[in-house]
Amino acid sequence: MSLEDEIKEIAIAAGADLVGITSKDRLMDHESSDPTYYLPSAESVIGFAVSLDKEIVRDFLQKTDLSAQKKMSLLEGETYYKLEDIGDAIKDFLESKSYEAINCESNMDYRRVKRMGKAGIKEFENLVELGQKNPDHPLVKKLKSGKMTLFDPDLTPYISHRYIGVACGIGRLGWSGNLITPKYGTCVYLGSVVTNAKLSSDPYMKDNPCSKKCKEVCTPVCQGQFIDSRETQTVKIGEIEEEIGKKHTLSKCILTCGAFTGQSKFKKWSTWSPWRTGIPNDDEEADRVLQQTFIDHILSGGQKAQNILRLVTAIQLGFRKAVKPIEDFHVSCAFCQLVCWENEDLRRENLEIIQSSGVVELEDGGKKVIRKGLS
Ligand code: SF4
Ligand code: SF4
């Protein structure tokens, strides 16, 4: 059996649904996919995917009841843990053959964000406490003045698993920018192992499973208006040129996916966030709204500060098993990814389900409720 086949067998045995291999040459057009950042001697990357349980995804899209979010969040945690196990199994195997290998983090690992670990979390907690107890403290005044840097918009990942997925032939980029696969649509989470072993590349996926005919499905499910419905941008990965929906400022996704707001433009339904912040069309204005929302949530304390603390913790510690307990996962949106299944009928069905799923709100006592049937 070839080394490539052995690697794939190990990945499948550890729980991967899809696995492919690419040489580094296909990945050098973008800083975010250059594997030598992780491993200077890198020659190849193994990309793999784990599909999501559709019953749990459907209940989450439909907001069947409050437990649907909890189940989706547990599924996310289990899936990230499984990706870590698959990566470890490949890494151990390659190291047993005297190669170098790195099991890349699956999410929340950014090149220009300095991780301070627990010290960074403590610093944030202190700021929230000061905001509540000592509003005249110089740090709180600085926060209120908008002069405190709360967010670095450069979230270049250590490695783009989506680009690796295209390069190693397990999928292509869909209109929403997510990796789309023929069997699972975009309902997959991704992982990668970088190695100095010189491995043969798999063929690219010739036909893109995204026909773009249903972009009116994945575009309007984004309450953040992050994905443009008409304008395109081109992404080149090796010999593949993808034309995807233009991405607007990342602030629009962070406001929504980060659960700072659940409803902006589409009034009949929300994400799982109970809060409301209008997201302007203009990108620069949206950047300002994100900054102001961070300040408001820190100064509010309570559940709003807890929400931002969740984001700070994820950025400071990552998603690995050793640092993130499974009950700490919390999915609030991801609709652009979860809506796109393997065929157009199912995608349109999912869109209808989301649009009639109702809104999540907070009752006076702070308890989350789902309200259905708004018109
Ligand atoms: S919903 Fe349709 S247009 Fe959007 S990524 Fe999926 S297949 Fe492509
Ligand atoms: S995760 Fe949510 S907010 Fe972000 S792009 Fe997707 S649908 Fe939009």
Instruction: Quote the CA–CA distance of 161 and 104 in Å, as a whole number.
Output: 9
Average pLDDT over residues 195-221: 96
Report whether 186 contacts 179 (CB < 8 A).
yes
Please state the atom number of ligand 1 nearest to the C-alpha of residue 176.
5
**Whole-model pTM above 0.75?**
yes
In the chain, domain spans: 3-371
User: CA dist 199 to 43, 146, 326, Å?
Assistant: 8, 50, 34
Question: What's residue 149's pLDDT?
Answer: 83
Question: What's residue 373's pLDDT?
Answer: 82
Residue of the nearest CA to atom 6 in ligand 1? 340
Question: What's residue 375's pLDDT?
Answer: 59
Q: In a 3-state reduction of DSSP, which class is residue 212?
A: coil
Structure tokens at 84: 């870590």
Instruction: Quote the CA–CA distance of 139 and 29 in Å, as a whole number.
Output: 42
User: CA dist 124 to 225, 226, 295, Å?
Assistant: 29, 27, 12
172-186 pLDDT, tens digit per residue, is 999 999 999 999 999
114-154 pLDDT, tens digit per residue, is 889 999 999 999 999 999 999 999 999 999 998 888 877 78
Nearest alpha carbon to residue 148 among 140, 156, 137: 140
Cα 336 to ligand 1 centroid, rounded to whole Å: 9
Best residue among 108, 179, 256 to mutate for probing ligand 2, ranked by most atoms within 8 Å of CB: 256
User: What is the length of the chain?
Assistant: 375
Nearest alpha carbon to residue 178 among 247, 109, 79: 247
Query: Residue 87, Cα to own-chain centre: how many angstroms?
Result: 18
Q: Is the pLDDT of residue 18 over 90?
A: yes
- Spatial strand order of the sheet with 101-103 comes to 18-23, 44-51, 188-195, 101-103
Cα 358 to ligand 2 centroid, rounded to whole Å: 18
Cα 214 to ligand 1 centroid, rounded to whole Å: 5
Nearest alpha carbon to residue 45 among 71, 72, 23: 23
Instruction: Quote the CA–CA distance of 249 and 241 in Å, as a whole number.
Output: 22
Report whether 260 contacts 274 (CB < 8 A).
no
Q: Which residues, judged by CB distance below 6 Å to any ligand atom, belong to the binding site of ligand 1?
A: 174-176, 180, 186, 210, 212, 214-215, 217-218, 340, 347
Angle at 347 between CA 346 and CA 348, to 5 degrees: 90
Best residue among 336, 347, 352 to mutate for probing ligand 1, ranked by most atoms within 8 Å of CB: 347
Residue of the nearest CA to atom 2 in ligand 1? 214
Average pLDDT over residues 157-163: 94
Instruction: Quote the CA–CA distance of 88 and 103 in Å, as a whole number.
Output: 6
Instruction: Quote the CA–CA distance of 337 and 180 in Å, as a whole number.
Output: 9
Higher pLDDT, 151 or 312: 312
273-285 pLDDT, tens digit per residue, is 999 998 999 999 9
Amino acid at 215: K
